[in-house]
Amino acid sequence: MAKLAFLGLGVMGYPMAGHLVAKGHAVTVYNRTGAKARAWVEAHGGQSAETPRAAAEGADFVMACVGNDDDLRSVCQGEDGAFAGMEAGAVFVDHTTVSAQVTRELYEAAGAQGLGFVDAPISGGQAGAENGALSVMCGGDAETYARAEPIIAAYARICRRIGESGAGQMTKMCNQIAIAGVVQGLSEALHFAEKAGLDGRAVVEVISQGAAGSWQMDNRHETMLEGEWEHGFAVDWMRKDLGICLEAADETGASLPVTALVDQFYKDVQKLGGGRWDTSSLLARLRKMG
């Protein structure tokens, strides 16, 4: 059993922290909205803290799953940040999707204090978090990762170290790039089926068994056909992630024409009032266009 802290109890962090308790670890949680942290304690046990620093004091591992670069900096650094409460030898594991730049910045800051730092962004959505079946892609020192992997296993279907610090975040960008193109393709296929007067469910039943099949098709086609957009990762967050992808592409010289186009399609969805809709709502944009 390890002594752990978990910072950030959103739709992903809340169940992830619960899996850690279920594995027998002692967990202290922190959330910006204290009421949510208290509700988590009522549901899972453990304890809550008023600041990231207080949560991290004495912890062997500190896990975080917050919103963006600035949120991550705020829970790590400063007088009330987690780094201030961590002891040399402790490990910070970041599950947030952020830029590789901030990851490397915090990796260096952690190292200067004798702390380990692993960037470990996740994929699998809310269902993956609730079922303990997330894909976790990691960057950081091999020895530090080896220490963290058994802890991460509490909510991971697969966990792999891809390379040095920042490699996990770069891999998550690959994940988001792939998803963007697939969801747009699925949306166009369903839109075409509707316009052609075909039974969308029958179409999916057939094509999903061939080369067109995908996780998105299996898990999202039904709600897409019903026009329900409350079942997954929000458009606002996807645009944040795709912005990171496009910035990194400029730095590396990668060409991402489809990603750039789909990012603009998601901007159109935001204009429809769909910023909190899930990413499959690209179909709503096509339907709006006629």
The residues carrying an active-site annotation are 172
Q: In angstroms, what CA-CA distances link 269 with 255, 285, 288? A: 24, 6, 10
Q: What is the 3-state secondary structure (H, E, C) of the chain?
A: CCEEEEECCCCCHHHHHHHHHHCCCEEEEECCCHHHHHHHHHHHCCEECCCHHHHHCCCCEEEECCCCHHHHHHHHCCCCCHHHHCCCCCEEEECCCCCHHHHHHHHHHHHHCCCEEEECCEECHHHHHHHCCEEEEEECCHHHHHHHHHHHHHHEEEEEEEECCCHHHHHHHHHHHHHHHHHHHHHHHHHHHHHCCCCHHHHHHHHCCCCCCCHHHHHHHHHHHHCCCCCCCEHHHHHHHHHHHHHHHHHHCCCCHHHHHHHHHHHHHHHCCCCCCEHHHHHHHHHHHC
How far apart CA 134 and CA 156 sit, in angstroms, is: 4
Q: Are 77 and 109 in contact (CB under 8 A)?
A: yes
